[in-house]
Amino acid sequence: MEGQRVLVTGGGGFVGSNLANRLARANDVIAVDDRSLGTPENLTDRVEFVEANVLDPDLPADVDVCFHLAALSSYAMHEAEPARGARVNVEGFVNTVEQVRENGCETVVYASTSSIYGSRTEPSSESLPVEARTGYEASKLARERYGEYFANRYGMNVAGMRLFSVYQGYGGAERHKGQYANVVAQFADDVAHGRSPVIYGDGTQTRDFTHVSDVVRGLERAADAELTGVYNLGTGESYDFNTVVDLLNEELDRSVEPEYVENPIPATVYVHDTLADSSRFAAETDWEPKIRFEEGIERVCAPYLAA
């Protein structure tokens, strides 16, 4: 993508800032964030930062492409404030897309979630049935339906990306997320400082951990290809939490044992396993993940080893 005027909502956040910084090398990028889950400190000087909320009536909407990543992005956030979660994740999406549409934008790429597949150890394809077991999942499914509406009603290119466990580490843009950061980042910080990572249950739960650099390349590819519909974005490989701790110990030359606690999230809603089938997206864009998990662990740990 080159020479475009681009809006990234949630642009001060983890994924949003990585995307905005990448695109700003060759585009005019505006990052909108209300600072609740993001910070302009994650952004380079090439990115224009606008402090605003996606519910605002006057967003900087005169753009060619919109990446909508702003959201209350966890189960816990929605449990604490379900009405706010619905407003930000659903109404905020509709408000943003409507404003950019009225200004002539025809391409929107937005973040959905892989958790709507539930727990699966086999690869999840987009053709599988999905279900809302949490407020967070309900809001993302609503977002997908509104994306479908904008595509059908106005002929827009609207692509929803079902992201699988995106990580980077506290040496990147995840530090500000704290307790909401990916477990790789949290566990790495614990092991590096001699603290026991806290694992829910027995540590056999698995995730398709996808490095943020692969994710932002995928988001850009979706816009370039002017895709419409929903697509998975993951590696097709999964690792259990016990293995994550082992790999971190090995890379950091530590021998920290995890602490196992009872899972506070009800079993009826907890996603125990995820695994992506991203073949549809790969076929339509030639995207493939470049960062294998072992290399991702090295990247996460590098700042601690250099300190």
pLDDT tens across 18-45, in order? 999 999 999 999 999 999 888 999 999 9
Question: Are residues 142 and 192 located together in one domain of the fold?
Answer: no
Within 8 A by CB and 6+ apart from 151, the residues are 157, 158, 228, 229
Annotate 160-186 with DSSP letters as a single string. EEEE--EE--TTTT-GGGGGGS-HHHH
Q: How confident is the model at residue 212 (pLDDT cuts 50, 70, 90)?
A: very high
Rg of the chain over CA atoms, in angstroms? 19
Q: Is residue 281 part of a domain?
A: no
Question: Are residues 99 and 157 located together in one domain of the fold?
Answer: yes
Question: Are residues 144 and 224 located together in one domain of the fold?
Answer: yes
Closest by Cα among 1, 7, 2, 13 to 182: 13
Tokens of 32: 């909108």
Tokens of 36: 């609740």
Position 258 pLDDT exceeds 90:
yes
Three-state DSSP at 198 gives strand
What are the pLDDT digits (tens) for 278-294?
A: 999 999 999 999 999 99
CATH number at residue 140: 3.40.50.720
Please give the tally of structural domains in the chain.
2
Average pLDDT, the chain: 96
Question: Are residues 146 and 162 located together in one domain of the fold?
Answer: yes
Looking at residue 73, what is its pLDDT? 83
What residues pair up with 5 in beta bridges, in sequence order?
28
Q: Is residue 285 part of a domain?
A: no
Question: Are residues 254 and 187 located together in one domain of the fold?
Answer: yes
Q: How confident is the model at residue 155 (pLDDT cuts 50, 70, 90)?
A: very high
Position 178 pLDDT exceeds 90:
no
Position 179 pLDDT exceeds 90:
no
Question: Are residues 134 and 198 located together in one domain of the fold?
Answer: no
Q: Is residue 280 part of a domain?
A: no
Q: Is residue 244 part of a domain?
A: yes
Burial of 58 (0-12, 13-18, 19+ CB in 10 A): exposed
Q: How confident is the model at residue 76 (pLDDT cuts 50, 70, 90)?
A: confident
Question: Are residues 53 and 189 located together in one domain of the fold?
Answer: no
Closest by Cα among 49, 54, 86, 22 to 223: 22
Q: Is residue 284 part of a domain?
A: no
Q: Is residue 176 part of a domain?
A: yes
Question: Are residues 124 and 182 located together in one domain of the fold?
Answer: no
Average pLDDT over residues 155-178: 94
What are the pLDDT digits (tens) for 5-17?
A: 999 999 999 999 9
Q: How confident is the model at residue 133 (pLDDT cuts 50, 70, 90)?
A: very high
Q: How confident is the model at residue 75 (pLDDT cuts 50, 70, 90)?
A: confident
For 148: left if phi > 0, alpha if psi spans -120 to 50, otherwise beta; the answer is: alpha
Looking at residue 307, what is its pLDDT? 78
Question: Are residues 215 and 270 located together in one domain of the fold?
Answer: no
Which residues span the domain enclosing 52?
Answer: 5-166+210-233
Q: Beta-strand (E) ranges in the chain? A: 5-9, 28-33, 48-51, 65-68, 107-113, 157-163, 166-167, 198-200, 206-207, 210-211, 229-233, 239-240, 259-261
Question: Are residues 91 and 222 located together in one domain of the fold?
Answer: yes
Three-state DSSP at 38 gives coil
Position 78 pLDDT exceeds 90:
no
What are the pLDDT digits (tens) for 218-233?
A: 999 999 999 999 999 9
Position 180 pLDDT exceeds 90:
no
Question: Are residues 13 and 33 located together in one domain of the fold?
Answer: yes
Q: Could you tell me the CA-to-CA distances from 73 to 36, 115, 119, 209, 284 in Å, in that order? A: 11, 12, 18, 16, 27
Predicted model pTM: 0.97
What are the pLDDT digits (tens) for 264-275?
A: 999 999 999 999
Within 8 A by CB and 6+ apart from 98, the residues are none
- What is the number of H-type helices and E-type strands within the chain? 10, 13
Q: Is residue 162 part of a domain?
A: yes
Whole-angstrom Cα distance, residue 22 to residue 168?
15
CATH number at residue 296: 3.90.25.10
Question: Are residues 22 and 64 located together in one domain of the fold?
Answer: yes
CB atoms within 10 A of CB 44: 12
Q: How confident is the model at residue 176 (pLDDT cuts 50, 70, 90)?
A: confident
Q: Is residue 286 part of a domain?
A: no
